[in-house]
Amino acid sequence: MSFTAINPANGETLSTRPDTPADEVDEIVRRAHAASMTWRDAPFTRRVENLQILAGLLRERKEEYGHLMTSEMGKPLAQAIAEAEKCALAADYYAENAEEFLRPVPAPTDASRSYWTYRPLGVVLGIMPWNFPFWQVIRFATPTLAAGNAALLKHAPSVPGCALALEKLFRDAGFPGDLFRSVFIDVDATGDLIEHPLVRGVSLTGSVRAGKAVAARAGGAIKKCVLELGGSDPSLVLADADLDAAVSSCVYGRLLNTGQSCIAAKRFLVVDEVREAFERKLLTHMGAAVMGDPLDEASVIGPMARIDLRDTLHDQVVRSVEAGAKLRLGGEIPDRPGAWYPPTVLTDVRSGMAAYEEEIFGPVATVIPVKDTAEAVRVANDSSFGLGASVYTRDDRLGERIAAELLEAGNCFVNGIVKSDPRLPFGGVKESGYGRELSPLGIHEFTNVKTVWVK
């Protein structure tokens, strides 16, 4: 196996990198462990300084990193640059808050002193995807390093340039050279790395299939893992919703990153009372979305990241139509080089169809008819996934109650798309995974929460 970057806009090979040999991987792990033993005792002022430098470099190099992301996985350049800027926000957040998050917590008992403290685990392995090749890594690595750990990155095979750029970024920010390293390994070697005695935890963002495999290997080795897996996020559009605002938000959430996001708006559950009007506005907005060169600022969507991903998406559309869904827009593979797929709309989607049951990872909007709010909630929860969900209504109290109490998802938003924010916990339930990233919870995930009792 080799790590090969192919420009999805035209199919041209950009770079190829061979696998890291097994003996070299072992040496990288051992060096990372040694670095973590020193780093864990570094004063917070050092950690803060390095994180601040990291944030500054991300902003300084955002154009460079944006072009790299766009060339390797195809996202529109403006979105890639914004991704680099968001990474800087995460670095700033942990620079400002890590010391407070990791302070010992007093707990009065029968002891003279008793408390719990957060101590680093050591080497943590991050297995990261291609769709947000900088953000996914930064949101894992910044709290991991801020907690005093070392981080190893096993990135997706299609973005080797991003993996190398990230390793250089952390080194340029002043972190010890062996504290953040990239390894280029296949699935079997990744399983072996999970079981390496010096790897103490695993964070995966990826598919359900990958999550089950990682959880099995980590569980067999009695190691903590955090899993952020797939999603089929519903958007509930209630009868009193502001339809113009709801459609605009839903289309933005569906097409962001060319629809290749775990928390993209994927299932539009629209009550019958407003469904016809919603669909009419949806078709107008989706039809106006420009598919084109991701370097062109006019392009709303670029190519998908890989040909095989595009073909899988098209197969889901075809199977859904064969099962009775109505194809209202798009749905045809363009006759041009690259991994292109147009904005597509399916309506009358119902239980049993691919577009209802499976994660649709691309620029395809699906409208599922529901008769009322109660049915919208039921259908929203009728999924093996539970990552995000959104509700559109003018009744803020009702929307908040549905989001807080009724929806089975880890991230529930009212009158807005689901998005990650360094200040809020991020993660899912059911087959969308477990554990939390970001916020104080994210930095605590890979620590030893140690009770101390003194008489």
Catalytic annotation, residues:
228, 262
Shortest CA distance to 361 belongs to which of 329, 305, 313, 406?
Answer: 313
Q: What angle do CA 298, 302, 1 make, to 5 degrees?
A: 150
DSSP class of 147: T
Q: Rounded to an integer, what distance in angstroms lies between the CA atom of residue 209 and that of residue 193?
A: 18
Copy the structure tokens of residue 398. 């009702």
| Adjacency order of strands within the sheet including 447-454 | 105-106, 113-120, 447-454
Asked if 278 contacts 237 with a C-beta cutoff of 8 angstroms, the reply is yes
378, 384, 389, 392 alpha-carbon torsion, rounded to 10°: -30
Q: What does each C-alpha distance from 100 to 105, 119, 148, 444 come to in angstroms?
A: 10, 14, 14, 12
User: How many CA atoms within 13 Å lie on the side-chain side of 249?
Assistant: 23
Copy the structure tokens of residue 189. 């070697």
Secondary structure E strands in 307-434: 326-329, 344-347, 364-370, 388-392, 411-414, 433-434
Which residue carries 């407070």 as its tokens? 100
Shortest CA distance to 153 belongs to which of 175, 133, 173?
Answer: 133
